[in-house]
Every structure is written in structure tokens, then in C-alpha cells.
Amino acid sequence: AQTVTQSQPEMSVQEAETVTLSCTYDTSENNYYLFWYKQPPSRQMILVIRQEAYKQQNATENRFSVNFQKAAKSFSLKISDSQLGDTAMYFCAFLTIRDDKIIFGKGTRLHILP
């Protein structure tokens, strides 16, 4: 069975700093997708970034980038120049191409401090 593990329940960083959120997963599949979702205090789940496993290049979306290490089954999220609006719960998620269900991690609560 596929699992997603986020080992950091909570983190705090100062505004403008860079922060990295960790995520590891376990699967025997070779083709899959990885996602980072953000859930701010408004509760709305928002897709931040996604990575296709067959792509070696790490995905980047403005200040958000990932470090995808397929052999290590690691998928960390880096937020550069963090802003107060980045304060949220962040969920790492996994989806195989053979399945329809996304597997979510337990989440990391990130606080950006002024």
C-alpha cells in the first residue's frame, strides 16, 4: 500500500526566510504524481505544485520549488522569501497513474512570523 509521511507536524520561520518541508512516500509503482497542497486558515485546499515521477527536472512555481529524489522516495517543498500569506497547513500527496485516489500525508503546519 502507498503511504505518505510528513515528519514535521509544525514549523515556524521568520518572514523572508527560506523554509523546506519534508515528505517521504512509499510505493512499488514506477509511474506516479506528487503534489503539495496548501490549506490556509480559510480552509480552502489549494494546489501549490505538482511533479510527474517520470520527469527528472524539479518542478518550480514562482517562490515554490521541490526537491524530488525518486530513488530515496523523497519530495520536499522549498518556499523561498517566505511571506505572511504562506502561513498554512501543507499537505504532501501522491497519486499513481493506475489509481484515481490521492493519498495525503498528515500535513505540516507552517507559521510565518513577522
Q: CA Rg, the chain, in Å?
A: 14
40 binds other proteins (CB under 8 A): no
Q: Which stretch binds other proteins (CB under 8 A): 39-47, 55-63, 66-74, 77-85?
A: 39-47
Near other proteins by CB under 8 A: residue from 28, 44, 56, 57: 44
Near other proteins by CB under 8 A: residue from 52, 58, 64, 87: 52
Q: What sign results for the dihedral spanned by CA atoms 18, 20, 14, 110?
A: positive
Scanning residues 53 to 82, which ones bind other proteins (CB under 8 A)?
Answer: none
Nearest CB to other proteins, comparing residues 72 and 98: 98
Burial (CB count <10 Å: 0-12, 13-18, 19+), residue 38 = buried
Nearest CB to other proteins, comparing residues 77 and 82: 77
Per the listing, cell 518542478 goes with 59
Scanning residues 19 to 38, which ones bind other proteins (CB under 8 A)?
Answer: 33, 35, 37
- Site residues, other proteins (CB under 8 A): 33, 35, 37, 42-47, 50, 52, 91, 95, 97, 100-102, 104-107
